Homo-oligomer: A and B are copies of this chain.
Amino acid sequence: MAPTLPANRAASAGDTGRMSDIPARPAHYDLDSLLAVAVGVFNERGYDGTSMEDLARASGITKSSFYHHIEGKEQLLRLALERALAGLFAVTAETGAGSGRAIDRLEYVLRREVAVLADELPYVALLLRIRGNTGTEQWALEQRRTFDRFVSGLVAEAAADGDLRSDVDPALVARLIFGMINSMVEWLRPDRHRAGEIADAVVRIGLDGLRP
């Protein structure tokens, strides 16, 4: 599912024999592989701080060749944000609206969101950093707010059930706990951390300490 990341150099004239450490330049490029490269650079330098020249260089081809495969810079952003949002909304779809106690559905959502964040890390990281400068970004921010309302409602429901301590505002709890989860994008390295372990820690910090 996840396209592999080429990440090699242009090597205009003499690409000498370092082919063993550095993955060889792919035989051909498609939108998905270039998207993966672009999202990586977007996360390093920020979307606005990334030029098409940066993306071309990171892909190992020229700007012109890069444009052969894509419509423009904003298309890359849109595809990345759509992918991140698809992951988040898959969680809300799984959870449904009213089966089981809210506190249990909340724990499920917490764990699943940690998993989505780990699985789609660069895409979600990008989503969490946009500021609304373009129409695409404004649309994505509105989608994020919809997701935030969903989880916030879940926390409120669990509080109404008496399954969360009553001396903290549920809306505040929702913001802090999901802020805690979202902050993972700043340091998570999927090759060095296990999502399940982090989800356990999140539940222990966020829920075990809040249960009455």
Show the binding face of A for B, using Cβ within 8 Å: 44-46, 48-49, 129, 131, 133, 165, 167-169, 172-173, 175-180, 182-184, 186-187, 197-198, 200-202, 204-210
Bound Cα distance A129, B200 (Å): 27
What are 23 A-B pairs at a CB distance below 8 A? A44-B131, A45-B131, A46-B46, A46-B133, A48-B48, A49-B133, A129-B129, A168-B200, A168-B201, A168-B205, A172-B197, A172-B198, A175-B184, A176-B183, A176-B184, A176-B202, A176-B205, A177-B205, A178-B183, A179-B183, A182-B183, A207-B209, A208-B209
Q: How many copies does the complex hold?
A: 2
Question: Do B46 and A131 touch across chains, with their CB atoms under 8 A apart?
Answer: yes
Bound Cα distance A177, B186 (Å): 13
